[in-house]
Structure 1
Amino acid sequence: MLQLNNVETFYGGIQALKGIDVSVNKGEIVTLIGSNGAGKSTTLKSISGLAKVKTGSIVYNGTDISNKPAHETTLLGIAHVPEGRRIFPRLSVKENLLMGAFSVKNKKVIEKRMEKVFHYFPKLKDRLEQKGGTMSGGEQQMLAIGRALMMKPDLLMLDEPSMGLAPIIVEQIFEIIKELNEEGITILLVEQNAYQALQVAHRGYVIQTGEIKLQGNGYDLITNEEVREAYLA
């Protein structure tokens, strides 16, 4: 479904990605793990069009999407939930969700998708008129994922969904990630909590200073001594 070939991305004169190769097959959960500043978020931004690729290619369902604008990658079926949630704090929960369906004109389709979001996140149904910025961190994360689901994505990219959340909320989020995948959504997951990520992932990549250092299935990486010492200790 998705193939990154020798991708290099820069922020000004600083090289963030140094020729990475990453693949995601349809129906998989693939995770990127690594320390802060390793290039995980930049990888997602490069895919969604928020960071400019200097060399290499990003191919999605056979189409080269390298440096395609973010609103166009969204229309292709790629939803990006960024680090820090990035909801619209002054808009209500309902308005935030409607922003996720910005390209949909059919009201019945929008209502159906919203009910699907409420299936995963019942709390949001009770908070429809509440301003997003007044919600707890966990609720905002649910809203950010719900907004992405309103796009009905084929590929859902999640950047640090557990950051700053209580352990019980983290468990809920990861259960929903598994459920979404079982229902057919392919997921590319960036996660600081390497153990949680590798437990749900089919495959994973370890990224260090903009380079892929290791890759393998979730179990192999969890049991890898180098990974355990660096990320699971």
Structure 2
Amino acid sequence: MALLELQNVHTYYGGIHALKGLSIKVEPGEIVTLIGSNGAGKSTTLKTICGQARAREGKVLFNGKEITQLKTHEIAASGIAHVPEGRRIFPKLTVKENLEMGAFGVKDKKVIDEGFELAFHYFPRLKERINQKGGTMSGGEQQMLAIARGLMMRPKILMLDEPSMGLAPILVEQIFHIITEMNQEGMTILLVEQNANQALSVANRGYVIQTGEIILQEEAKALLSNPQVREAYLA
């Protein structure tokens, strides 16, 4: 059984038909990437999964249970973490306070402590800056903080939206190394990434989305060598 599955999902923004019968699966332990041009529907897919946008038709299933109409906080509590595009940390809050916001609503101190332990395991630099305000950190550090905040509820799946955006190449390599490490240690990841070459190099499988529809799905290695994909997204 897939950990996460979208079945024939249609999502609208007003009269704009953003997702047109989209179906994808993410199996436990995979990195699955969604690639496509700007406006193709990548971010809308993640927003639909986490309830920020609502599917008008179709189903979103998580662990075999339908979550299509659950509230966003209920979806997060079920084990889905969404790290949105653009980091969206709280610039006036410290690293510690930003991380605590990632566990908002969690009453079990053990879960929160385990969240901090996990965050600092992957991002030890954040521990060194625990009392520093988020807005004074570098872009790379802010991206680390955004991902670490997503780990605070000990999710079953981590959805990352454009984690390399605006980062220097050396920091992109570092972020993707950490993504790979998280996956090797058991985290299932759904990755939206403009840098298709980088995304496909770490993913197990990939979907190509165009104007709200999946036009191609393959093992990541096959997509990397596909002439159509190379010309459109890897040039």
| Interval containing the TM-score (normalised by the shorter chain) | over 0.9
RMSD between aligned residues: 1.0
Counting only pairs closer than 5 Å after superposition, residues 211-226 of structure 1 correspond to structure 2 as 211-226=213-228
Q: 1:183 aligns with which of 167, 185, 196?
A: 185
Structure-2-length-normalised TM-score? 0.97
Q: Is the 8 A contact 2:111 2:154 kept in 1?
A: no
Give the CA deviation at 1:67: 2.8
Q: Which position in structure 2 is the counterpart of 1:73?
A: 75
Change in CA separation of 1:109 and 1:212 when aligned onto 2, cut-off 3 Å: closer
Q: Deviations over 1:104-160 (max 9, x none)?
A: 334344233212211211111111111112211111100000001111000100000
Q: Which position in structure 1 is the counterpart of 2:136?
A: 134
Question: Residue 69 of structure 2: SS of its match in structure 1?
Answer: coil
Q: Which position in structure 2 is the counterpart of 1:232?
A: 234
> After alignment, is 125-134 or 35-44 more displaced?
125-134
CA distance in 2, matches of 1:188, 1:213: 18
Aligned residues: 233
> After alignment, is 59-68 or 156-165 more displaced?
59-68
Tell me which amino acid in the other structure corresponds to 1:155. Answer: I
Q: Which position in structure 1 is the counterpart of 2:53?
A: 51
Q: Which position in structure 1 is the counterpart of 2:18?
A: 16
Q: Is the 8 A contact 1:30 1:202 kept in 2?
A: yes
Q: Is the 8 A contact 2:200 2:223 kept in 1?
A: yes
CA distance in 1, matches of 2:76, 2:111: 17
Q: Which ranges in structure 2 are unaligned for 5 or more consecutive residues?
A: none
Question: Residue 45 of structure 2: SS of its match in structure 1?
Answer: helix
Q: Which position in structure 2 is the counterpart of 1:90?
A: 92
Q: Is the 8 A contact 2:20 2:212 kept in 1?
A: yes
**How much identity, in percent, do the aligned residues show?**
69
Q: Which ranges in structure 1 are unaligned for 5 or more consecutive residues?
A: none
Question: Residue 205 of structure 1: SS of its match in structure 2?
Answer: strand
CA distance in 1, matches of 2:47, 2:55: 10
CA distance in 1, matches of 2:121, 2:186: 16
Tell me which amino acid in the other structure corresponds to 2:172. Answer: V
Question: Residue 31 of structure 1: SS of its match in structure 2?
Answer: strand
Give the CA deviation at 1:182: 1.1
Give the CA deviation at 1:192: 0.2
Question: Residue 189 of structure 1: SS of its match in structure 2?
Answer: strand
Q: Which position in structure 2 is the counterpart of 1:155?
A: 157
Tell me which amino acid in the other structure corresponds to 1:112. Answer: E
Q: Is the 8 A contact 2:112 2:153 kept in 1?
A: no
Give the CA deviation at 1:27: 0.6
CA distance in 2, matches of 1:137, 1:161: 11
CA distance in 2, matches of 1:110, 1:5: 33
Q: Which position in structure 2 is the counterpart of 1:39?
A: 41
Q: Deviations over 1:37-71 (max 9, x none)?
A: 00000000000000011101111111111132110
Q: 1:30 aligns with which of 21, 29, 32?
A: 32
CA distance in 1, matches of 2:214, 2:162: 19
Q: Deviations over 1:15-54 (max 9, x none)?
A: 1101111011011000000000000000000000000111
Give the CA deviation at 1:81: 0.1
